[in-house]
Each structure stands twice: as C-alpha cells, then as structure tokens.
Amino acid sequence: RNLGEKYGASVGQVALAWVFAHEGCVAIAGAKNREQALNNAAAGNIQLTSDEMEKLNKLSMQTRPGAMEIIQTIPRILGF
C-alpha cells in the first residue's frame, strides 16, 4: 500500500509493475472493461527502484511460496 501511495497507484498496479520488471515474464491481467484495461496498462509507467524490487521479491517468497522460483526459472526455460 505504501508503494501504491508513493506512485499514486493501486496495489494491483504495483504488483503488475513488479512482474513487468522481471525479464522474461509476462503478466496476464484480466480486465472486464476499458477502464480496467487502462488501469492495468498504467502499471507500465511505474518504475520500481532496486530496493523496492528487492523488498517485493522477499515479500513474495513469504506470502506465495514458489513465486520467485517460478519467475527466476521462466527466462531459463524460454532460453533468455
């Protein structure tokens, strides 16, 4: 939430920005209408700092076991 406030973004937008920042990863965000699609796209304007990325990476390992491992494995699987 603090990052969302810092960037004037929703928690979902910050989460998408975090995924976008991982090379070789693609976020498939659902949208039921134009407004939701535009909100999802706005996440691409968020540039998280390396410190913020590190904190979110650590948080993801605590709350969703395996998420970071999947993100780190995808580029290798795809040959990046």
Structural domain boundaries, residue 12:
2-78
Encode pLDDT of 11-63 as tens digits: 999 999 999 998 888 888 889 999 999 999 999 999 999 999 999 888 877 65
pTM over 0.75: no
User: Given CA atoms 59, 23, 3, 42 in this order, what sign does their dihedral have?
Assistant: negative
Rounded-to-integer distance, Cα 14 and Cα 11, Å: 5
pLDDT band at 68 (very low <50, low <70, confident <90, very high): low
Rounded-to-integer distance, Cα 80 and Cα 29, Å: 23
Structural domain count of the chain: 1
